[in-house]
Amino acid sequence: MVENLLPRRPSIHRLLERRTDKLLIVAGLGSAIWDAESAGENPLNYYLLGAMGSVVPTALGLALAQPERRVLALTGDAELMMGLYALPTVAVRRPKNLSIVCIDNERFGETGKQTAHTAEGVDLAGIARASGFPHVLEVQNDTGLDALRTAIYTAEGPLFAVIKVSSDMPPVVMPIRDGSIGKARFREALLGEKGLKE
């Protein structure tokens, strides 16, 4: 367990500062969505409101389909553990434009803050390294956040990072809750009007 934990919401805001339209974000289930939305509503954010374990596979597909864009999978430790098979798949496919950032509070935050696997010693950064990720970062301070933000835009991926944050739950900042509207908005922002017709 890390003793000096970063504050969750300010850390994600710092990570997403100066975001450009080259970055597509796929965020998952609960807190990661609320963190991304609170950093500024953006139609290039794709939210998986109820698909726990699907953020990394979805981001992988998007990165492969849009190789000229940078893709960020923003997820929590429990959500990532539910789809852990995806890390080796990303490492094997090696998309150069994909970054996975795990916000690790060592809790199942949406269901009552029960202790999650990383609190018991599961090392997600170690799993990413063993899977073959060429870039693995463990972020513990603002300097690390700044380095990660730069790497998201410039590193030849795939990149995996863990940000250890406190278990405090910031206020909910809810995006559009209708999945079909969210999907259509994302497609139009990414592909223009032709994306709505395909």
Q: Are strands 114-115 and 107-108 parallel, antiparallel or unpaired?
A: antiparallel
* Mean pLDDT, residues 164-181 taken together: 76
**What does the pLDDT read at residue 11?**
95
Task: Report pTM.
Answer: 0.91
Alpha-carbon distance of 160 to 157, in angstroms, equals 8
The three-class DSSP label of residue 166 is coil
Q: Which of 34, 35, 123, 39 is nearest to 84 (CA)?
A: 123
Whether 85 and 107 have beta carbons less than 8 Å apart is answered as no
* Predicted local distance difference test score (pLDDT) of residue 74: 97
In this prediction, residue 153 carries a pLDDT of 96
Q: What is the mean pLDDT of residues 165-173?
A: 76
